[in-house]
Structure 1
Amino acid sequence: MAEFLYRLGRACARRAPTVIAVWLALLVASGTAFLLFSGELKDSFSIPGTPTDEVEQLLSEEFSGMGGGSGTVVYQTEDGSDFTGEQRDAIADRAEEATGVSGVEDVIDPFATEQERADQRQELVEGREELESGLEELEAGQAELDEGRSQAEATGTLDQAEAGLDAEQAVIDQKREGLEAGLEEVERGEAMLETASGIRSVSEDGDTALVRVTFTDSQTEVTQETRDAVMEVFESDPVPGTTVDFGNDMAMAMPTLVSAAEVIGVIVAGVVLMVMLGTLVGAGLPLLTALVGVGVATLIAMSLSGVLEMASVTPILGLMLGLAVGIDYALFIINRHRRQLKQGVGVGASIGLANGTAGNAVVFAGTTVLIALLGLNLTGIGFLGLMGSVAAVSIAIAVFIAITLVPALLSLLGTRVLSRRERARLSENASAPVEGAGPAERTRPMPTGRALAQAAVAVIALGVVALPALDLRLGMPDGSSEPTDSTQYRAFTAVEENFGAGQNGPLLVVAGLTGGPDEEAAERNAEEEQALVAEEIHSHDDVAAVAPIAVSDDHTLAIFQVVPVEGPASASTEELVHTLRDMEPIEGTGPLGVAGMASGNIDISETLSDALPTYLSVVVGLSLVILLLVFRSVFVPVVATLGFILSFFAALGGVVAVYQWGWLGGLFGLENTGPVLNFLPTLLAGILFGLAMDYMLFIGTGMREAYVHGSPSRTAVVQGFRAGRAVVAAAAVIMISVFGGFVFSHSVMISSIGFALAFGVLIDAFVVRMALIPALMHLAGDAAWWLPRWLDRILPDIDVEGASLESRHPRERAAGDDGAPTGDAPADGDTRSSSEEAAERVSSERS
């Protein structure tokens, strides 16, 4: 691979205009594809086969018009007074108009609904009065009949009058049975109204009304175009004296691809590049190539949204990763090229060698990230696999940009990638390198006591930071997590304050009924069992209200609307969903089924939680194999993988502390807390794994190279650390800057992902790779590089450092090169020629 990349770099340098033209053509082609084929992004997620999905499928099959999505429109009077008659009529007109929008099943007038409820209550009151009056009259008739029977018995005419008296008694008994049955029916109706009393469409104080919209498609399939058309009906012609807001199930807050915060993050990355490279041209090159890469990748991803169901966060994730990784990968190659130029290597030869050595490491590092992201498809969760695939495309393009476009641009820049002072020194010392000519600094290993303390402090600190992860709760953002000035937040709080928190996440519950031998018996049983189920559900402490909705035509299924006491993201609502699914109010009919947006989000969170251990096992196993191949050691892969696990849980702990507990949330513009985004842990595991392997590669290979050169194991740790710390620190700061820019996004999804990645990189790069790993490597000593002979014989020689490449191209250096080492991690004080070093390293590795 190193030889191929060397030749590729030389070829791209010689044909720079062609390479640049090809990438510009790809950028234009991607933009054209976006304009022609891009579709609508989704604001929701779904997983087929979950309990919620099964219930929704059942509803759509058994009930006409059921199983579709829903939306909420909230009207409030501006002065807090009751709605006037004109306002009620105007809202009713808007609701009727909205029913004509394509894709809308029905729009419910809240005032008509409340009037129907009042009429039902009045009918029950009148029915009870009538039935009780009938019973009183019947009791009077019974008293008269009993008196007649007594008189007949006293006069001795009972035998003659008995037949007539018995006939009258039969009539009275029949009437009593009918009246009592009617009274029982009224009592059931009263009980049903009582259990449903907490479900209102107009608030008790009369100043807030909820317009419920139902769609023909399921919640995840309703297009934003349909929702926008419904909102346009209510927004375009405002009702005087009222305000209108839309719930999270109607309004979609599409996160923007680029905002001021992300621009600031890129500027910070540019500053870091300036400090490290010392030249504006050199600092601008990684930024330019990264922007080209993310432009191509993002436009390709967006163009696929017309044929794939893609969440709004998916292309942003690709942009986030592509930008950070693209800058870093270009930086690795440019940094190597600059060092070689300062050591007297010619421009063309240096480009080839940088591409074959640092570029080889970039390809290997990119491949690890790529595999980890594509591995998200192993979870079997469609939207998560698509996120990983889109992000993988961004990583792949970043790698191709680094090994083709970067060499082409470097050839055009020539020595201008160096600062004026560096070029001046190079010209003055044409026969000797600018760096490395002075006396070598003696390298001493760190004290063992310091290594013990450093490792202990790092592990304890990571453990403390990871503690909040024990309280991790997964969910999806709801209206409460939206910005306080958004219509979704205003709608959510208005519903919570006027109707109760549970109205923001009502559940649909399906219960099986026993039916009957005939239509009349089935209908009678359905009425009784419907009331029984409603009463059973309502008896639960976490249920605020239950309302029957419909019974199937064959009277074997009943649907109920259940309003929890707390909101859709609360722990009690999650527990309620599980409790209801375990209930079987009518023996032999099976447990209750639960659907609704809150239930769907709970199912998705649990599915993702169940998939996380399997995915983590795959990632950890992959980590061990990759590191075993690279470092040819048993100890290094184990401690590096354990370090990744510590980084992962520490990053999760930070996310829980900020986004779930609210600690320091004000610093990041977080206005409300809630459960952690349900797919974030799985996504974080894949991405952080790839980035952690990058840092381990650039720190650890320097240690291994110094050890192979003959340095004592503990001295090699210090030498390798010194050789790699600058580039790893710069790369980490750049990634933190880019990811950190997304922390200030108005979308909680984007913000939490950006924070998790930025904090994870901070922990892994500066605590694990630059503190914990060197300390553990020191404590292990020579055992850190132990590998069984049988395993050493069967493992392939990957040569990530490109040592064999340097031995094959010793003559490519400029005249006067004193042979200072050009590896990414040279051993301090080694003054042998580069070709001799490379040959010795290859020989040592093979032995």
Structure 2
Amino acid sequence: MYTLGRWAARRRGWVVSMWLLLLVVIGGLGVVKPATFTTEFSVPGIESQQARDLLAAQFPAAAGGVARIVFAAPAGTALTDPAEQAAIVASLRRAATVPGVISVSDPVRTGTVSADGAIAFADVRFQQAPDDVPQSAVDALAAAVRPAREAGVQVEFGGTAEQARTRVSGPNEAAGLVVALVVLAVATGSLLAAGVPLLTALAGVLVAVPAIGLVAHVVDMTNTATVLALMVGLAVGIDYALFIINRHREQLADPATDVADSIGRATATAGNAVTFAGVTVTVALAGLAVTGVPFLTIMGLAAAGAVLIAVLIALTLLPALLSFAGERIRPRSRRHAHRLTRHRPRPGAGSLAWARLVTRAPVAVVCVGVVGLAALALPLGHLRLGLPSNEAQPTDSTQHRGYDLLTRGFGPGFNAAITVVVDTTAVPPAQRTALLDQLTARLRIDPGIVAVTAPVGSPDRGLAAINVIPRTGPDDQATTDLVHRLRDQDEQAIRQAGGTMYVAGSTAGAIDVSAKLLRTLPGFLAVIVVLAVLLLTAAFRSALIPLTAVLGFLLSTAASLGVVIWVFQDGHLRLAFQVAAAAPVISFLPVLLIGVLFGLAMDYEVFLVSRMRERYEQTGDAADAVTFGVARSGRVVCAAALIMAAVFGSFVFIGDPIVKSVGFALAVGVLLDAFVVRMTIVPAVMAMLGRHAWRLPRWLDRVLPAIDIEGSALPGTLRSTTPSEPVRAGSTGRVLQPSGPVSSTATDSMREDMQ
């Protein structure tokens, strides 16, 4: 790492040119071949997906995208009045001419006009699948309803072909970067040092996001994957650069330190920790593949790719930029040390005071922290998972307005339509009609159903689809119960007759995806916990520190999910965060939060505890190591957490309900984990454990690989020793002596730290 940092600093022009070339090439390809993303969160093997595949193969018309046009009459009129009816008919005729449209329903003929005549809807069916309906056709459909709008009729849209598009470029993200710049300026005390992390982070996402778009040409990818990669890439890109720059400036505080040597040492110490942390985040995100859910796997791999690019930039482009900055990034106070008084404030004084506070009464601190996080986690007891319906879209969107009109005119169940698919291929032809009639009769007497359409058969009559309108909305628990009831009762009757029945549709699909992800959650959590224990045990040569880190991570994750449930599912502070409607938590949010937050939590654990271990190896004093580690790393860890929260929080006010909830969960999770767990509970627990925190069974020490995060093997590393106790490196028992020149300023600084 030291050699890499020195090489990048010496070849700074070449390194910067290579990154610029890569940015131009990948960005150019992204412009030439724009990405296409899916809005479907499909999971192979679930019942609703099996039905969709069956319909697509044998009944393509039933699998095409549907745009639902909702009409609302002006006040004091009805849609059945001659003028309004003529305008609607003219609009629907124009809609039938839109490229790709194969059928348009007539509200009067199909009976989709409300009892008071105020609201009606028509379904426009496309021959393409929902994701394949081009934007040009959607725009043409919006223009086709102009006659109705000119007649004063309110027109809104919904359906699978009219999904809201996620847009992430805007003032919200810019505000997050401004907050990050302010935090960086305060943390580093230099505008130049504050601007470099932003520059490298932006370079990382400008490479990662177009690259992910190119991959979307090969695999099905949701647009949420790109947004997640943008979120995580920006956050870790800024934080990783901040950790290295902080170490570089800390070393440059000694006027005798050479800039190039300091760049190499910062890369070998903080850069080493960045690499370990980045690999941990990458493995955690890639670990989403164990869920067996393709769209979640792609999301994890996309974000993991952004993290890897951020690490590569921190280890190569950042040293090159620091070389260009040269002496200008050296702390100003030390460049003019002769002008300072002896009473100048010591760097890290606030963090040192905090460390002494939390370690003074560690048992009380741990109890208060744990109880507080447990209280925030209480809403987990009534967690419900789902996928967002149009009700969760922004209140000013056509999808949300259309949802409200349908609910007002027909009841909430019209937004939760269920499709019952029956495969009668194995049933004798003479018995198929009677079987379908019996099923339709049973569905019509179900108390949870308000309407059932006649069966629509495929050309070979081996497949039939029945549309069912529930009494309750898509996010209602009663609708979930209805889906399970249909599967438990009616599927068995159809199976006994030789047929196969599937319950499908977007509502059933959301229920199936949620159930699948809930089943995979314990296994994924177990993989994450085992991974954390193994990595941290190898890194810190300790048996107790990994357990503390994992328990803290579980607490912060549970508390974060509790806050998400309290806001998004229970509806508290809904207006403050611009949440359109209280609804179940996004089904994949718990798994995603665990994967991302685990990696970020381990980041802070590594940066904080590595400085403790470095001090403990120098002095052998466990209590001093805790206060030293917090004093040296506390300020930068707090700054990094605030920056991450600002980046994630900037996505909270985006209209997309998925992006909103993910950004909120990650922002809350980072703040709780950094400030409550890493900066409070962990130092308190370390103070309680004392020297026992750094013990590891000998047999395990021999088996585990040696990971030198602190740079103890670095040539010429400065080490402070005391006459009474030599400093030991790792577990080898070798005494380290200073192998390079030691300036008087450095000696004085180390003596202050020892005191």
TM-score (norm 2): 0.90
Identify the match of residue 533 of structure 1 among 439, 444, 466.
439
The answer to whether the aligner puts 1:687 opposite 2:585 as a matched pair is no
The answer (yes or no) to whether the contact 2:425–2:499 under 8 Å persists in 1 is no
**Does the residue aligned with 1:82 lie in a helix, a strand or coil?**
coil
Secondary structure of the residue aligned to 1:246 is strand
Deviation, 1:644, is: 0.8
**Corresponding residue of 1:495:** 406
Structure 2: how far apart are the matches of 1:385 and 1:60? 24
Label 1:821 to 1:74 Cα distance change in 2 as closer, same or farther (>3 A). Answer: farther
Matching of residue 830 in structure 1 with residue 739 in structure 2: no
The answer as to whether partners of 2:273 and 2:709 remain within 8 angstroms in 1 is: yes
Aligned to 2:62: 66
1:9 aligns with 2:5: yes
Verify: 1:595 aligned to 2:501, yes or no: no
- The percentage of counterpart residues that share the same residue type is 41
Shift of the 275–64 alpha-carbon distance from structure 1 to 2, 3 Å rule, reads closer
Aligned to 1:484: 395
- Matching of residue 575 in structure 1 with residue 481 in structure 2: yes
Q: Does the residue aligned with 1:9 lie in a helix, a strand or coil?
A: helix
Deviation at 1:62, TM superposition (A): 4.3
Q: Which has the larger radius of gyration?
A: 1
Contact residue 8 and residue 316 of structure 2 kept, 8 A: yes
Q: Please name the residue that 1:103 is paired with.
A: 100
- Counterpart CA distance in 1 for 2:436 and 2:669 is 52
Shift of the 662–428 alpha-carbon distance from structure 1 to 2, 3 Å rule, reads closer
For 1:235 and 1:418, how far apart are their aligned partners in 2?
64
Corresponding position of 1:561: 467
Matched residue type, 1:539: I
Give the aligned residue type for 1:738.
Answer: V
**Contact map agreement 1:224 1:252 (CA 8 A) in 2:** no
> 1:11, 1:737 → 2: CA distance?
34
Equivalent residue runs for 1:87-98 within 5 Å: 87-98=84-95
Task: Please say if 1:40 is aligned against 2:40.
Answer: no
Q: Give CA deviations for 1:450-476 in whole Å, capped at 9, x if unaligned.
A: 211111111111111111122111111
Q: Is the 8 A contact 1:346 1:812 kept in 2?
A: no
Q: Report 1:526-675 matches (<5 A).
A: 526-551=432-457, 558-584=464-490, 585=493, 587-589=496-498, 592-675=501-584
Count of residue correspondences: 727
Find the partner of 1:424 among 320, 336, 343: 336
Task: Answer yes or no: is 1:400 the counterpart of 2:312.
Answer: yes
Q: Does 1:293 align with 2:204?
A: yes
1:73–1:246 Cα contact (<8 Å) kept: yes
Separation in 2, partners of 1:580, 1:513: 17
CA distance in 2, matches of 1:417, 1:502: 63
- Give the distance between the partners of 1:593 and 1:791, measured in 2 at CA: 53
In the alignment, structure 1 residue 387 sits paired with structure 2 residue 293? no
Q: 2:448 is matched by which residue type in structure 1?
A: D
Give me the TM-score of the superposition, normalised by structure 1.
Answer: 0.81
- Bigger CA drift: 348-357 or 715-724? 715-724
Distance 1:362 1:64, change over 3 A: closer
User: Any stretches of 5+ residues in structure 1 without a counterpart?
Assistant: 115-200, 832-847
Alignment partners' CA distance in 1, 2:340 and 2:633: 28
Alpha-carbon distance in 1 for matches of 2:630, 2:340: 31
Answer yes or no: is 1:377 the counterpart of 2:303. no
2:713 aligns to what SS in structure 1? helix
* SS in structure 1 at match of 2:699: helix
Q: C-alpha distance in 2, partners of 1:718/1:444?
A: 5
Matches within 5 A, 1:104-503: 104-114=101-111, 201-235=112-146, 238-247=149-158, 249-344=160-255, 345-425=257-337, 450-503=361-414
CA contact (8 A) 1:580 1:593 kept: no
1:257 alignment partner, SS class: coil
1:621 positional shift = 0.9
Contact 1:475 1:677 in 2 (8 A): yes
Given that 1:349 and 1:812 are in contact with CA atoms closer than 8 Å, whether structure 2 keeps it comes out as: no
Of stretches 544-553 and 216-225 in structure 1, the one that deviates more from structure 2 is 216-225
Aligned AA for 2:176? G
Rounded Cα–Cα distance in structure 1 between residues aligned with 2:715 and 2:76? 79
Q: Which amino acid aligns with 1:418?
A: R
Report the 3-state secondary structure (helix = DSSP H, G, I; strand = E; otherwise coil) of the residue aligned with 1:569.
coil
The 3-state SS of whatever aligns with 1:666 is: coil
* Contact preservation (8 Å) 2:180, 2:642: yes
Give the secondary structure class of the aligned counterpart of 1:348. Answer: helix
In 2, Cα distance between the equivalents of 1:442 and 1:624? Answer: 30
> Which residue in 2 is equivalent to 1:741?
650
> AA paired with 2:182?
V
Displacement of 1:94 in angstroms is 3.1
Are the aligned partners of 1:343 and 1:820 in contact in 2 as well (CA < 8 Å)?
A: no
Contact 1:46–1:220 (CA<8 Å) still a contact in 2? no
Work out the CA distance in 2 between the residues paired with 1:752 and 1:100.
39
Structure 1 match to 2:78: 82
1:781 paired to 2:690? yes
Match of 1:192 in 2: none
Partner of 1:712: 621
| Residue pairs, 1:504-543, within 5 angstroms | 504-511=415-422, 522=430, 526-543=432-449
Distance 1:411 1:553, change over 3 A: closer
* 2:68/2:122 contact within 8 Å kept: yes
Measure how far apart 1:554 and its partner are: 6.7
CA contact (8 A) 2:237 2:307 kept: yes
Q: Any idea what SS the aligned residue of 1:799 has?
A: coil
Cα pair distance change 1:224/1:616, threshold 3 Å? farther
- Superposed displacement of residue 806, structure 1: 4.6
* C-alpha distance 58-428 of structure 1, shift in aligned 2 (>3 A): closer
> C-alpha displacement at 1:409, in angstroms?
1.1
Q: Helix, strand or coil for the counterpart of 1:664? A: coil
Q: How far is 1:528 from its partner?
A: 4.4
Other-structure match for 2:705: 796
Question: What SS is found at the alignment partner of 1:548?
Answer: coil
**1:91 touches 1:239 (CA, 8 Å); kept in 2?**
no
User: 1:423: Cα distance to partner?
Assistant: 2.1
Q: CA deviation at 1:692?
A: 0.5
What is the deviation of 1:609?
1.6
Instruction: Tell whether the 8 Å contact from 2:649 to 2:664 is kept in structure 1 after alignment.
Output: yes
SS in 1 for 2:220: coil
CA contact 2:475–2:584 (8 Å) conserved in 1: yes
The AA in structure 2 aligned to 1:31 is: G
CA distance in 1, matches of 2:161, 2:626: 57
Shift of 1:399: 0.8
Contact 1:36 1:303 (8 Å CA) reproduced: no
Moved more, 267-276 or 246-255: 246-255
Seen in structure 2, the aligned counterparts of structure 1 residues 383 and 527 have a Cα distance that, compared at 3 Å, is: closer
> 1:730/1:94 Cα in 2 relative to 1: closer, same or farther (>3 Å)?
same
Contact 2:615 2:625 in 1 (8 A): yes
- Would you say 1:676 and 2:585 are equivalent positions? yes
Q: CA deviation at 1:590?
A: 5.2
Moved more, 42-51 or 650-659: 42-51
